[in-house]
Structure 1
Amino acid sequence: MSTDTDHTDLLDDGLDDGLDDGLGTHPDEDDLAPLDERSVSLFEGDEGGLEHAQRVALVALLKQRFISARTHPRDWQVLVEHERVLRSRLNDLFLELQVDRVREVAWKRQATSETGARFPTLLYDAAWSREETLVLVHLRDRLRAGLASGDARVFVDRDDILDHVQSFRPAHATDEAGDEKRARNAVAGVIKAGLLIGAPQDDRYEISEAVEPLLPLEVLAELLEALRRANGAEPAEAAPAAEADLFEEPADQPEPQEAR
Structure 2
Amino acid sequence: MTDVADTEAPEAPDTGASEDPGLSGADGSFVAPSAMEDDVEALFAGDTGVLPYAARRALALVLQRRYLSAAGHPTEWKALLAHQGVLASRCHDMFVELVVDRDYEIAYKRQVRSDGLSIPVLLKDEPYRRVETLLMLFARNRFRQEQGAGERAAYVDAEELVTYALGFLAQDETNLAGRRREIDNAVAALVREHVLDEVAAGRYRVQPVVEVLLPVERLRELSAWLRSPSATEPAEQTEPDGPAEPAETTDVVDEDEEARA
Shared fold by TM > 0.5?
yes
Partner of 2:255: 244
Partner of 2:214: 215
Answer 1 or 2: which has greater helix percent: 1
**Unaligned 5+ runs, structure 2:** 1-38, 235-249
Alpha-carbon distance in 2 for matches of 1:136, 1:207? 9
The equivalences for 1:109-148 within 5 A come to 109-113=110-114, 115-148=115-148
Alpha-carbon distance in 2 for matches of 1:170, 1:196? 27
Letter in 2 for 1:244: E
- What's the offset of the Cα at 1:40? 4.2
- What's the offset of the Cα at 1:89? 1.0
Higher relative contact order (CA 8 A, sep 6+): 1
Any idea what SS the aligned residue of 2:72 has? coil
Alpha-carbon distance in 1 for matches of 2:151, 2:190? 22
CA offset digits 1:143-196 (Å, max 9, x no partner): 111111111111111111111101111112121111111111111111111100
Alpha-carbon distance in 2 for matches of 1:246, 1:171? 29
Give aligned pairs, total.
204
Partner of 1:83: 84
What CA RMSD, in Å, does the superposition of the two structures yield over aligned residues? 2.4
**Given the alignment of the two structures, is residue 162 of structure 1 paired with residue 165 of structure 2, yes or no?**
no
**Given the alignment of the two structures, is residue 203 of structure 1 paired with residue 196 of structure 2, yes or no?**
no
Change (3 A) 1:116 1:163: farther
Alpha-carbon distance in 1 for matches of 2:116, 2:201? 45
- The structure with more radius of gyration: 2
Partner of 2:232: 229
Q: Percent identity?
A: 36
Are the aligned partners of 1:130 and 1:230 in contact in 2 as well (CA < 8 Å)? no
Partner of 1:190: 190
The normalised TM-score by structure 2 is 0.71
The equivalences for 1:26-175 within 5 A come to 39-113=40-114, 115-175=115-175
Alpha-carbon distance in 2 for matches of 1:123, 1:246? 32
Alpha-carbon distance in 2 for matches of 1:209, 1:69? 11
Alpha-carbon distance in 1 for matches of 2:168, 2:66? 27
Answer 1 or 2: which has greater strand percent: 1
- What's the offset of the Cα at 1:226? 7.1
Letter in 2 for 1:104: E
- What's the offset of the Cα at 1:75? 1.2
**Unaligned 5+ runs, structure 1:** 1-37, 251-260
Are the aligned partners of 2:195 and 2:207 in contact in 1 as well (CA < 8 Å)? yes
The normalised TM-score by structure 1 is 0.71
Are the aligned partners of 1:97 and 1:107 in contact in 2 as well (CA < 8 Å)? yes
Letter in 2 for 1:217: V
